[in-house]
Amino acid sequence: MRVLLVEDDRVLGAAMRDHVTASGHAVDWMQRLDDAELALSTVNYSLVLLDLNLPDGRGLDLLRGLRARGSDVPVIITTAMDQVAIRIEGLNSGADDYLVKPFDLSELTARIAAVARRYGGSASPGIVIGAVVVDLGRRTVTVDGKPETLTAREWRLLERLLARRGAIVTKDEIEEALYAFGAEIESNAVEVYVSRLRKKLGRDFVVTSRGLGYQVPA
Amino acid sequence: MRVLLVEDDRVLGAAMRDHVTASGHAVDWMQRLDDAELALSTVNYSLVLLDLNLPDGRGLDLLRGLRARGSDVPVIITTAMDQVAIRIEGLNSGADDYLVKPFDLSELTARIAAVARRYGGSASPGIVIGAVVVDLGRRTVTVDGKPETLTAREWRLLERLLARRGAIVTKDEIEEALYAFGAEIESNAVEVYVSRLRKKLGRDFVVTSRGLGYQVPA
DNA sequence: ATGTTGGTTTCAGCCTGATGTCAGGTGGGG
DNA sequence: CCCCACCTGACATCAGGCTGAAACCAACAT
């Protein structure tokens, strides 16, 4: 994989670059946003590691710009412990996953591996569930052949459910996947998103097990 | 999977053991390091849960010894919130993942599942009882290959019975497992749920011992 | 500034199926 | 043969889940 690392801290950046390189990926390390933007416009990356603590704090703009341009490259953001708000905003803006500083480098590789697995690199055959075809790599869904569009949160929910297809996934589990750790939710948001997914993908796409959780049939 | 749990705290240890057992794994719980060493030298575990707060603080030595001997069994370490240094050292010494106390039990199962997935072994192989196959981790059951759905209470009952497969479980024991402590019940609810389980999983799945309790054959 | 758009979050009322209870039936054991 | 423990179909209840709509919020256009 080709990875773009955007991190202004020299020590941390170097450590991350070395670690990711050691995991067998090609890393381009940019310390400034405009360099990163330039790199993104010229190279096709398979993953972006984005620090949201950049001095000018405009890391989010880069992410938004990416998504606005229709790019679906996976983005993992890093934030400091206390920046829950920023983290949430990052997820809302289309980030795929996040890491809280200080994080362990092994954790970093784990997340990268997860992303790689999820987006299957070369082969993204498309998962078929009845009339629904999901392509996680390209971020597309079709229902009865007609393309359907999902929002960021809906994707995260769908991914979580498909990651354990056939198994029952608890609400807590989904909540953890949908929202940054530490960010509490004070409503039935999970139910709402399940409802939305059903409206788009079909009533029977997700089945409810009262008191246990949700499940997409194997 | 066969899991070695090394934890000196009685309460936490018991809770962890029960939880992991309920996920469908066999657990050996050691409260002292030398017992753990002995167990490791005689049994082939597929996962080790290692507390690094052990009184003599030599949990790390166990880990290092393991790796020195060339063992590649996955190890998840647990440390207290503030012991960042120890955690890092643990990872450097060959741990695969870590949990920061206090952690949530659901988080524990998630990590275990992740480790299991990473090492190819299915997290929950499925318990086989005649025509019935139970996967506690995924919350799925099949009878003669056909999927069957259980309700929350039915799962609780099933888990209780399987946790002591082959042994006779008293009604009181079941009642305690089915209902929150203190919430008493004023009917033959246990009998009713056994009946419902039988209807779904087969008449002979549960055997009655009049006056003693119930048992699922080994 | 102001409005528009699109996503997210919350709320309230409706709906449904899991649950606890009971009553009548079954059968093992003394 | 007669207990008494256990089984099981039926049913009312209500917690848990569903969903339309409104409030909210950030980004963007006017």
Which has the higher per-residue pLDDT, A68 or B106?
A68
In angstroms, the CA A94 to CA A63 distance is 7
Question: What is the average pLDDT score of chain B?
Answer: 82
User: Among B138, B149, B153, whose Cβ lies nearest the Cβ of A166?
Assistant: B138
Best of B107, B135, B139 to disrupt the A interface (most A CBs within 10 Å) is B139
Chain A hits for B155, Cβ within 8 Å: 212
Please state, in angstroms and rounded to a whole number, the distance separating the CA atoms of residues A1 and A118.
13
Q: Among 4.10.95.10, 3.40.50.300, 3.40.190.10, 1.10.10.10, name the CATH number for the domain at B127-215.
A: 1.10.10.10
Q: What is the pLDDT of residues B28-84, one digit of tens each?
A: 888 888 888 888 877 778 889 998 876 566 788 888 888 777 676 888 888 875 666
Query: What average pLDDT does the segment A45-53 reach?
Result: 88
> A173, B139: Cβ pair inside 8 Å?
no
> Pick the residue with more confidence: B57 or A52?
A52
Quote the pLDDT of residue B41.
Answer: 76
3-state secondary structure (DSSP) of residue B106: helix
Tell me the domain boundaries of chain A: 2-118, 127-215
A209 in contact with chain B, both atoms CB, cutoff 8 A = yes
Report which DSSP code applies to B46: S
Contact with chain B for residue A172, Cβ under 8 A: yes
In Å, the largest CA–CA distance within chain B is 58
Question: Is pLDDT at B120 greater than 50 in this prediction?
Answer: no
- Chain B positions touching A166 (Cβ under 8 A) are 138, 140
| A186 CB closer than 7 A to any strand C atom | yes
Say if residues B129 and B204 touch (Cβ distance below 8 Å): no
How many Å apart are CA B77 and CA B87, to the nearest integer?
8
Residue A209's pLDDT is 96
Among A106, A118, A171, the residue to mutate for chain B (most B Cβ within 10 A): A106
Q: Which residue's alpha carbon is at the shortest distance from the C1' of C28? A: B210
Over residues A140-178, the pLDDT tens digits come to 899 988 989 998 889 889 988 987 888 999 998 898 888
* pLDDT band at residue B87 under the 50/70/90 scheme: low
**How many Å apart are B143 CA and D3 C1'?**
37
Q: How far is the CA of A194 from the C1' of D13 (A)?
A: 27
CB B98 to CB A110 under 8 A?
no
pLDDT at A184: 67
B139/A167 Cβ within 8 A = yes
Q: Residue A213: pLDDT above 90?
A: yes
Give the DSSP letter of residue A74: -
Residue A36 pLDDT greater than 50, yes or no? yes
Output the pLDDT for position B146.
92
B152 touches A at CB < 8 Å: yes
Q: At residue A123, does pLDDT exceed 60? A: no
Among A48-52, A72-76, A113-117, A131-135, whose mean pLDDT is lowest? A113-117
Q: Could you tell me which CATH number the domain at B2-118 has?
A: 3.40.50.2300
Which residue in chain A is spatially nearest to B146 when comparing CA positions? A218
Query: Residue B61: what residue type?
Result: D
pLDDT of residue B199: 96
Q: Does B85 touch chain A (CB under 8 A)?
A: no
Query: In this prediction, what percent of chain A has a pLDDT beyond 90?
Result: 23
Is the separation of the CB atoms in A17 and A51 below 8 Å?
Answer: no
Mean pLDDT of the region B136-159: 92
Radius of gyration of chain A (CA): 18
Query: Greater confidence, B97 or A57?
Result: B97
